[in-house]
Amino acid sequence: METKVVSFEQMPELIQNLVERIDALEKTVREKQQPQPLEGELMSVGDVCKLLGKSKSAVCRTMRCHDIPFIRQGNRLYFDRPTIKKWLEKKQNIECIRQMDEFEKFMTPDPWRYKNRRW
């Protein structure tokens, strides 16, 4: 490896060149580390775990209950991104309705609650 003699006047230009190259490398590394699946693309179990913020065992438990829609091709499992998004919206709506029902039960006075009370 040859060493190149650099003058003091060349230093700012060389440093600027190095900074640009480092920025380009960092951008490439970031893109490779976080690939984003496209709409309509099949996702793996790991992708669904990241999307839902759940562990792999929690996603597998949900699959065993046939609660989450998935596609089986041989020994591999895939998830369709738009289908998963619709499933999530449906789950959130059901959870919201369930919470409202519980709130209404809590707020509705029970007529039998005070029937046998002695005042």
Distance CA 81, CA 41 (A): 6
Cα 15 from chain centre: 39
Residue 117 included in any domain: no
Residue 70 included in any domain: yes
Q: What residues contact 1, with CB distance under 8 A and at least 6 apart?
A: none
45-78 pLDDT tens trace: 888 888 888 889 888 888 888 788 888 888 888 8
Residue 16 included in any domain: no
- pLDDT in the model for residue 7: 86
Find the domain containing 80 and state its range: 42-107
10-49 pLDDT tens trace: 889 999 999 999 999 999 888 777 655 445 678 888 888 8
- The closest alpha carbon to 107, from 119, 115, 99, 116, belongs to 99
Return the bridge partners of 42, or none: 80
Residue 82 included in any domain: yes
- Residue 84 φ then ψ, to 5°: -65, -40
Residue 119 included in any domain: no
Residue 52 included in any domain: yes
Residue 6 included in any domain: no
| Number of domains observed in the structure of the chain | 1
